[in-house]
């Protein structure tokens, strides 16, 4: 009986990542936890009771201390990123084709020389990326990041560095194609910037930290619009890409 319960309870402890409990927990004398992991983020109290006629195991966990489960898997997140990127490309291309006087090639090739666009985008993206990564590190903004579903997904999906680059590249190019190349010439920079932040769910008014974060994202969106209007579409895409890499790397760590 002791071997049976030792095996079953040790499997349970491993699945729940319970910290080591080295002392016996009942009069029956089953020392089930002496070889368990020494350090774990979960604080659980395990009680084992046994008799000649009945045995059971009761596991009581502290509220809010259940093992974290990813909201979606890494593979599913990568697929969603790719599919949403394709949707933004199709939607943006349709808007340009139906309502713009200039064609798609003109939208892509307009602006300053490519090296200037790449340089400007990298610099602006790094400045805002560093600011954004620093912002979510401030204790007061922890609740803000916890309230954003995209942040929770990134934290729990187990993304690798290559995944971060891939998702950032898809989001940076396809979202700028829709919001900047397709919508901004029709709606103007301010309406497009507000729409961009609203679609991403960054406007929340639960606290002054939420409001400040929304203003920060609105400023970023407005600067991306300025890059598109003054330098070129590629600069806005690169800035968006670089910003996402900075922030996503901070989140996944």
Residue range 140-164, pLDDT digits in tens: 898 899 899 999 999 999 999 999 9
Task: Tell whether the model's pLDDT for residue 35 goes beyond 50.
Answer: no
* Residue 125 near residue 239 (C-beta atoms within 8 A): yes
57 backbone dihedrals φ, ψ, rounded to 5° = -120, 130
- Answer yes or no: do 24 and 104 share one domain: no
Closest alpha carbon to 182 in 74, 108, 79: 108
Task: Tell whether the model's pLDDT for residue 10 goes beyond 70.
Answer: no
pTM for the whole thing?
0.73
In a domain, 16, yes or no: yes
Give percent above pLDDT 90 in the chain.
64
More confident residue, 45 or 231: 231
Task: Tell whether the model's pLDDT for residue 197 goes beyond 90.
Answer: yes
- Answer yes or no: do 108 and 16 share one domain: no
- Answer yes or no: do 97 and 138 share one domain: yes
- Answer yes or no: do 126 and 245 share one domain: yes
- For the chain, what is the total number of helices (H) and then of strands (E)? 11, 2
Give the pLDDT of residue 103.
Answer: 87
The domain total for the chain is: 2
Task: Tell whether the model's pLDDT for residue 65 goes beyond 50.
Answer: no
- Answer yes or no: do 12 and 95 share one domain: no
Task: Tell whether the model's pLDDT for residue 28 goes beyond 90.
Answer: no
More confident residue, 69 or 148: 148
Taking residues 179-208, what's their average pLDDT? 96
CA angle 168, 169, 170 (to 5 degrees): 95
- Answer yes or no: do 53 and 174 share one domain: no
CA angle 227, 190, 152 (to 5 degrees): 80
In a domain, 167, yes or no: yes
* Sign, Cα dihedral of 226, 232, 235, 241: positive
Task: Tell whether the model's pLDDT for residue 252 goes beyond 80.
Answer: yes
In a domain, 68, yes or no: no
DSSP H or E segment with residue 48: strand 44-50
More confident residue, 64 or 136: 136
Alpha-carbon distance 128 to 237, whole Å?
Answer: 14
User: Average pLDDT of the chain?
Assistant: 80
Of 23-37, 93-107, 153-167, 217-231, least confident by mean pLDDT is 23-37
Of 16-30, 155-169, 200-214, least confident by mean pLDDT is 16-30
Show the domain range for 39: 2-61
Alpha-carbon distance 183 to 62, whole Å?
Answer: 49
CA torsion, ordered 102, 108, 110, 116, to nearest 10 deg = 170
Question: Residue 81 has which token pair?
Answer: 């990123």
Model confidence band, residue 13 (pLDDT cutoffs 50, 70, 90): very low
More confident residue, 51 or 169: 169
């Amino acid at each position: 009986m002791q071997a049976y319960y030792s095996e079953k309870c040790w499997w349970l402890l491993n699945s729940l990542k319970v910290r080591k409990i080295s002392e016996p927990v009942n009069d029956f004398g089953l020392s089930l936890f002496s070889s368990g992991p020494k350090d774990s983020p979960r604080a659980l109290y395990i009680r084992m009771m046994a008799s000649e006629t009945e045995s059971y195991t009761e596991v009581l966990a502290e509220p809010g201390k259940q093992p974290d489960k990813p909201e979606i898997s890494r593979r599913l997140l990568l697929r969603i990123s790719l599919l949403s990127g394709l949707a933004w490309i199709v939607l943006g291309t349709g808007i340009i084709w139906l309502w713009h006087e200039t064609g798609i090639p003109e939208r892509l090739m307009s602006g300053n020389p490519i090296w200037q666009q790449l340089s400007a985008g990298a610099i602006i993206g790094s400045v805002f990326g560093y600011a954004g990564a620093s912002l979510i590190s401030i204790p007061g903004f922890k609740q803000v990041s916890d309230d954003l579903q995209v942040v929770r997904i990134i934290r729990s999906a187990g993304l690798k560095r290559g995944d971060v680059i891939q998702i950032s590249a898809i989001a940076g190019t396809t979202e700028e194609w829709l919001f900047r190349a397709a919508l901004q010439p029709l709606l103007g920079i301010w309406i497009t910037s507000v729409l961009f932040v609203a679609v991403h769910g960054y406007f929340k008014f639960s606290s002054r930290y939420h409001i400040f974060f929304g203003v920060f994202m609105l400023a970023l969106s407005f600067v991306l619009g300025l890059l598109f209007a003054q330098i070129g579409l590629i600069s806005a895409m690169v800035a968006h890409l670089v910003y996402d890499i900075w922030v996503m790397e901070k989140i996944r760590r």
